[in-house]
């Protein structure tokens, strides 16, 4: 009888909540637009999903800005703005993103992420530079990679090549530059960064201006660059 009572009492004990288990590492890919919308956004999302899953990350995609709250962002290691445009977060959501990054989270921006939140000075510092202009149509140019095992590697790219309102070099670690001598419409001169990274508080920011076309997401060099960026902003690698 005593053993039977013990068994019943054991069954009544509370079961540990699933929330007590280690959280699955995850990133949020955010693609809300309030200006120009890139046709390549679905391809960018699919690419990030594949690259993230290869690194053992769950990849959530959405456009609802209410996810930018302290509680919801705590589920993620990094947030990716994939060709976002315009004013897409309200002040409370902006504060949540800032607290997330400065508290140790990661941020990755692709292409038109630099064409976003012009009225929010902190965001401009997070990305490193805002979009200024681009040549008409697509341009083919030589890009040089900097740092790591690929330092000095040349790479031919056909994409929409952004010019920026400032050269971000004094504030960032430049990962790739584009040679304006090989195409028409560059406005930044002999030093034209097109990918870079920087620390922000306790967190990490990584950006590339490439990513306008569907085709470029199939380029193995860009995919490798994005994979490096994901590993960095999620904290898996100290190197960007």
Per the structure, the count of domains in the chain is: 1
Residue 163 falls within a domain, yes or no? no
87/33 Cα distance (integer angstroms): 8
The pLDDT tens digits of the residues spanning 24-56 come to 899 999 999 999 999 999 999 999 999 999 999
Q: Around Cβ 56, how many Cβ atoms within 10 Å?
A: 10
pLDDT of amino acid 14: 41
More confident residue, 22 or 136: 136
In a domain, 32, yes or no: yes
> For residues 138 and 211, what is the distance between their CA atoms, to the nearest angstrom?
11
Is 156 contained in some domain? no
Mean predicted confidence (pLDDT) in 154-183 = 98
Mean pLDDT throughout 205-229? 98
What percentage of residues in the chain have a pLDDT greater than 90?
A: 88
Task: Name residue 207's beta-bridge partners.
Answer: 109, 196
pLDDT exceeds cutoff 50 at 144: yes
Instruction: State the first-to-last Cα distance of the chain, in angstroms, to the nearest integer.
Output: 65
Q: CA 63, 40, 174: angle at the middle one, nearest 5? A: 90
Q: Specify the residue for token string 């977060």.
A: 89
Q: How far is residue 209's CA from residue 202's CA, in Å, rounded to a whole number? A: 24
Of the listed ranges 15-19, 100-104, 111-115, the least confidently predicted one is 15-19
Task: Classify residue 137 as exposed, middle or buried by CB count within 10 Å of its CB (0-12, 13-18, 19+).
Answer: exposed
Instruction: Please check the confidence at residue 9 and state whether its pLDDT lies above 70.
Output: no
Please give the pLDDT value at position 150: 83
Q: What is the pLDDT of residue 16?
A: 36
Q: Using alpha carbons, list the distances in angstroms from residue 132 to 71, 78, 122, 123, 161.
A: 34, 26, 17, 15, 11
Average pLDDT over residues 128-152: 94
Range of the domain at 57: 24-131+196-233
CATH code of the domain in which 225 resides = 3.40.50.880
Confidence check: pLDDT of 154 > 60: yes
Q: Tokens representing 206?
A: 């990584």
Handedness of CA 112, 201, 238, 67 (dihedral sign): negative
Strand partners, 174: 196
- Cα 26 to the center of its chain, rounded Å: 13
In a domain, 229, yes or no: yes
- Beta strands at 58-62 and 26-30: parallel, antiparallel or unpaired: parallel
In-domain check, residue 167: no
Residue 126 placed within a domain: yes
Structural domain contains residue 96: yes
CB 16, CB 55: distance < 8 Å: no
Tell me the average pLDDT of the chain.
92
Q: Which residue has the tokens 């199939």?
A: 218
Structural domain includes residue 185:
no
More confident residue, 162 or 11: 162
pLDDT value for 24: 86
Instruction: Tell me the per-residue pLDDT of 85-110, one tens digit each, with 9 for 90 and over.
Output: 999 999 999 999 999 999 999 999 99
């Amino acid at each position: 009888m005593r053993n039977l009572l013990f068994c019943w009492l054991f069954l009544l004990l509370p079961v540990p909540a699933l929330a007590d288990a280690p959280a699955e590492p995850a990133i949020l890919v955010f693609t809300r637009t309030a200006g120009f919308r890139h046709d390549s956004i679905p391809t960018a999302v699919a690419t990030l999903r594949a690259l993230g899953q290869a690194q053992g990350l769950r990849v959530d995609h959405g456009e609802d800005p209410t996810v930018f709250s302290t509680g919801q962002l705590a589920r993620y290691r990094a947030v990716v703005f994939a060709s976002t445009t315009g004013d897409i977060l309200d002040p409370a959501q902006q504060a949540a993103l800032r607290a997330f990054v400065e508290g140790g989270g990661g941020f990755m921006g692709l292409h038109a992420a630099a064409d976003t939140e012009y009225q929010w000075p902190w965001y401009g510092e997070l990305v490193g530079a805002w979009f200024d202009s681009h040549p008409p149509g697509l341009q083919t140019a030589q890009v040089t990679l900097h740092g790591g095992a690929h330092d000095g590697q040349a790479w031919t790219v056909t994409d929409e090549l952004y010019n920026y309102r400032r050269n971000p070099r004094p504030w960032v670690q430049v990962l790739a530059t584009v040679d304006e001598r090989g195409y028409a419409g560059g406005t930044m001169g002999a030093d034209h960064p097109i990918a870079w990274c920087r620390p922000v508080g306790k967190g990490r920011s990584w950006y590339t201006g490439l990513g306008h076309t569907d085709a470029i997401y199939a380029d193995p060099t860009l995919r490798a660059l994005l994979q490096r960026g994901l590993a960095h902003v999620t904290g898996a690698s100290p190197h960007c």
